[in-house]
Amino acid sequence: MNDDSTASEQRLIRLESVRNQGRATHVQSKILRREDITEDLWLIWIEKPEGFIFKAGQYCTIGHDGVERAYSIVSAPHEETLELFIELVPLPDGVLTPKLWELGVGNTVSIRPRAKGRFVFKPSLPNQLLVATVTGVVPYVSFVRDYFHANKTGHHFYIIEGASYKNELVYDTELAALATEHPDMITYIPTLSRPTEERNAGWSGETGRANEVVESWITDLGLFPEDTIVYACGHPGMIEDVKAKLLPRGFPLEEERFWKQD
Ligand SMILES: Cc1cc2nc3c(=O)[nH]c(=O)nc-3n(C[C@H](O)[C@H](O)[C@H](O)COP(=O)(O)OP(=O)(O)OC[C@H]3O[C@@H](n4cnc5c(N)ncnc54)[C@H](O)[C@@H]3O)c2cc1C
């Protein structure tokens, strides 16, 4: 999703909500569990409405107090609940997230009955290079949960996940465990952009922004445009830079922007 399509996605949500006034276009879904990660990152698990189907990597549209936004789904389609990983955009900029931040177990959000999005697993090439910043890892967690659940083979997922601080790498334990269990199918490369800060004490992994390290990893891993599809999800600046570096080299690239850069 590029800048224009991020904006048009949000426009579409508003348009649909006007068009559908008076019709039962969304249902209420209860928050079943909440886990706070940092002062601005948290996870919620909400009820999956009856008949709600989706492909790994798609997003749902949830709302509260009449405001709706898109959220990629962490869960794989076979899971019983919808898991979401959300970043708080504080007031006065954020609209829905400050409202969601106040909600806990037992509260409800509205959810549209259909998942959407084209940022899904594309199986045509054996190497899948997945580049993310913080919440941008969400669709990739869904991809790999679904892939291993379905006992698929024939692909290798290389996940490069960038964050400022190590506690923002929320799915690191799950992804590192999968990489240890299936070294021929998944490689997990977390990277921190502020490795020397106190909050990152003890970090011995990769350093630098995801977009800064992507090319050297492509070389080290021996990935080529003929056998590798690249996905970029999250921060629009990261996506722009990854595109600027890899499109001229001929890599096929899929993108999902979570917001528009001012
Ligand atoms: C397809 C899609 C999937 C998405 N999936 C997720 C997801 O899994 N998790 C998630 O947290 N968000 C996700 N988003 C973003 C989400 O839809 C909201 O825009 C976001 O949660 C902020 O909502 P808000 O109403 O508080 O602020 P908005 O009114 O949406 O935005 C207010 C301002 O903050 C900017 N902004 C929005 N998000 C961020 C951010 N994270 N960091 C910095 N600036 C930001 C906007 O560009 C705008 O200028 C997704 C967006 C799209 C289009």
Which residue do the tokens 């008949």 mark? 51
What Å distances lie between residue 227 and 88, 128, 172, 237, 252, CA to CA? 37, 9, 26, 26, 10
Class of domain 127-257: alpha beta
* Ligand 1 atom with minimal separation from the 9 CA: 53
Q: How far apart are CA 132 and CA 135, in angstroms?
A: 8
- Which residues have a Cβ under 8 Å from the Cβ of 108 and sit 6 or more positions away? 28, 29, 30, 31
CA of 49 to the centre of ligand 1 (A): 23
CA of 94 to the centre of ligand 1 (A): 8
* Ligand 1 atom with minimal separation from the 89 CA: 26
Sign of the torsion formed by the C-alpha atoms of 199, 202, 205 and 206: positive
Residues of the chain with CATH 2.40.30.10: 3-111
Ligand 1 contacts (CB < 6 A) are: 1, 6, 9, 59, 69-72, 85-87, 89, 93-97, 117, 135, 138, 256, 258-260, 262
pLDDT 10s digits, 47-69: 999 999 999 999 999 999 999 99
CA of 258 to the centre of ligand 1 (A): 5
Under the banding of pLDDT at 50, 70 and 90, the label for residue 1 is very low
The two three-digit tokens of residue 259, written as one number: 């917001």
Name the CA radius of gyration of the chain, rounded: 18
Supply the residue whose CA is at minimum distance from atom 52 of ligand 1: 258
Q: How far apart are CA 168 and CA 191, in angstroms?
A: 11
- Which residues have a Cβ under 8 Å from the Cβ of 72 and sit 6 or more positions away? 57, 58, 59, 84, 117, 119, 135, 138, 139, 142, 233, 256, 258
Among candidate residues 261, 260, 258, the one with its CA nearest the CA of residue 117 = 258
Other C-beta atoms lying within 10 Å of the C-beta of residue 96: 19
* Ligand 1 atom with minimal separation from the 97 CA: 26
Contact indicator for 40, 90 with CB cutoff of 8 Å: yes
Q: How far apart are CA 10 and CA 8, in angstroms?
A: 5
Residues of the chain with CATH 3.40.50.80: 127-257
* Ligand 1 atom with minimal separation from the 69 CA: 17
The two three-digit tokens of residue 6, written as one number: 């991020």
pLDDT 10s digits, 8-30: 666 665 655 555 554 557 899 99
From 2.40.30.10, 3.40.50.12780, 1.10.3720.10, 3.60.15.10, which CATH number describes the 3-111 domain?
2.40.30.10
pLDDT 10s digits, 228-257: 999 999 999 999 999 999 999 999 999 999
Give pLDDT, residue 33.
Answer: 98
Q: How far apart are CA 221 and CA 235, in angstroms?
A: 24
Give pLDDT, residue 4.
Answer: 55
CA of 72 to the centre of ligand 1 (A): 11
Give pLDDT, residue 51.
Answer: 94
Contact indicator for 252, 125 with CB cutoff of 8 Å: yes
* Ligand 1 atom with minimal separation from the 116 CA: 1
Which residue do the tokens 């959407």 mark? 116
Per the DSSP assignment, residues forming a β-bridge with 229 are: 128
Give pLDDT, residue 19.
Answer: 54
Among candidate residues 210, 258, 251, the one with its CA nearest the CA of residue 227 = 251
Q: How far apart are CA 42 and CA 32, in angstroms?
A: 14
Mean pLDDT, rounded, of the chain: 94
- Which residues have a Cβ under 8 Å from the Cβ of 33 and sit 6 or more positions away? 43, 44, 45, 81, 105
